[in-house]
Amino acid sequence: MGTLYVVSTPIGNLEDMSLRAIRVLKEVDLIAAEDTRRASILCGEYAISTKLTSYHSYNIGKRTPELVRMLSEGMNIALISDSGTPGISDPGSVLISECIKADVPVTAIPGPSAAITALTLSGRPTASFVFEGFLSSKPSRRRKHLEKLKDEERTVVLYESPHRLVKFLEDCRDILGERQIAVARELTKKFEEVKRGTPGELAAYFAENKPRGEFIIVF
Contact set with ligand SAM (CB under 6 A):
11-12, 81, 83-85, 88-90, 113-115, 159, 184-189, 214-216
Distance CA 108, CA 35 (A): 19
Distance CA 27, CA 5 (A): 11
**Complex with ligand SAM: residue 2 or 184, whichever CB lies closer:** 184
In terms of Cβ atoms closer than 10 Å to its own Cβ (0-12, 13-18, 19+), residue 75 is middle
Q: How many Å from the N-terminal Cα to the C-terminal Cα in the chain? A: 44
**Complex with ligand SAM: residue 108 or 204, whichever CB lies closer:** 108
**Complex with ligand SAM: residue 68 or 187, whichever CB lies closer:** 187
Minimum CB separation from ligand SAM for residue 74, in Å?
28
Minimum CB separation from ligand SAM for residue 60, in Å?
14
Alpha-carbon dihedral of residues 28, 10, 48, 102, nearest 10 degrees? 10
**Complex with ligand SAM: residue 89 or 122, whichever CB lies closer:** 89
Minimum CB separation from ligand SAM for residue 103, in Å?
25
Minimum CB separation from ligand SAM for residue 33, in Å?
12
In terms of Cβ atoms closer than 10 Å to its own Cβ (0-12, 13-18, 19+), residue 52 is buried
